[in-house]
Amino acid sequence: MLAALPELSLKIVEFAREHGRVTIGEATKLTGVSRNTLKQHFRALVERGHLNQHGSGRGVWYELR
């Protein structure tokens, strides 16, 4: 199931697996990709059941399901 994900989404999931949680800010530093692009990937990962979202706004963070 993870194999069907884009490379950027796989990096996000791997970072969450290694660190327990991930924020968009951390993912920006890790990948160098814009916040807007990352938000699309995080949203898709939540909708597909790979990540849980906690909080809202600038304080939001994500963890593996």
50's enclosing H/E stretch is none
Residue scoring higher pLDDT (22 or 58): 22
pLDDT of residue 1: 62
Helix (H, G, I), strand (E, B) or coil at 45: helix
CATH number for the domain spanning 35: value is: 1.10.10.10
Average pLDDT of the chain, as a whole number: 94
Domain region containing 19: 7-64
Global confidence as pTM: 0.91
- Assess if residue 2 is contained within a domain: no
pLDDT of residue 50: 96
What does the pLDDT look like over 28-58, one tens digit per residue? 999 999 999 999 999 999 999 999 999 998 8
